[in-house]
Amino acid sequence: MLRSFIPFLFAAGALAQTPPGSFAYTKNNLGAAFQDAEITPGVWISPDDVSDQPALWPASKKMRRDSKYMIIMMDLNIPDSDVTTASYYDTLVPGLATNTTTRVHWWGGNYTIENGQFVNSSDSLAEYTAPRPRDSTNHTYTLYLFDQPAGYVPPQAALDGTYYSQSTDTRFNFSLAPIVEAVGEPVAATYFLSDEV
């Protein structure tokens, strides 16, 4: 009985830790947990448990103690109609489903590993906003850990605080492409689903 589980465990280690069909990709798991709920890829988490930003830790040996990292959390299921009118849908950064786009929920830099946790040493570029989808569907929230190479300078808009406020409309239609171009694919990720309270 036990033996039949072993190949499954090996196979599971090789699965994508990003949602199927999403833009950025990694096979490395990011350890993440809200106070009362651990985040594992695809798990549903009650909206009651997502109010405060999750704790993060390296779940893979690929992450180095002497490196700096950035964390980004994205909603990949924003209805296009929340952002613009139909004639502009094709300009939007694609979400997971047709006629959906993205919203950045959290962007923090200068994270290092201390005592087995990711700890930041500067304020976020976009402060954490709890999921609260308004369209009676489950949304997919993906947490990406990116390398922050020495000398990496965030885009001027981010430094200017454009994305900082929890409620700003500038968080919609957020593209990871310039970040991936600057620092590479995410080094780790995980994702969860949540819906309305």
Ligand X SMILES: *[C@@H]1O[C@H](CO)[C@@H](O)[C@H](O)[C@H]1NC(C)=O
Binding site for ligand X (CB under 6 A): 44, 53, 70, 84, 86, 88-89, 91-93, 98-99, 108-110, 120-125, 127-128, 136-138, 148, 154, 173, 175, 193, 195
CB of 172 to ligand X, least distance (A): 7
Choice between 4 and 136, CB closer to ligand X:
136
CB of 6 to ligand X, least distance (A): 28
CB of 60 to ligand X, least distance (A): 21
Contact, 92 vs 63, CB < 8 A? no
Alpha-carbon distance values, 89 to 22, 84, 139 (Å) = 18, 7, 19
Choice between 13 and 44, CB closer to ligand X:
44
**Residues contacting 47, CB < 8 A, separation 6+:** 130, 131, 132, 194, 195, 196, 197
Mark residue 10 as left, alpha or beta (left: phi above 0; alpha: psi -120 to 50; beta: remaining): alpha
When CB distances to ligand X are compared, the closest residue is 109
C-alpha torsion 145→148→125→128, nearest 10: 20
Choice between 15 and 197, CB closer to ligand X:
197
Choice between 82 and 195, CB closer to ligand X:
195
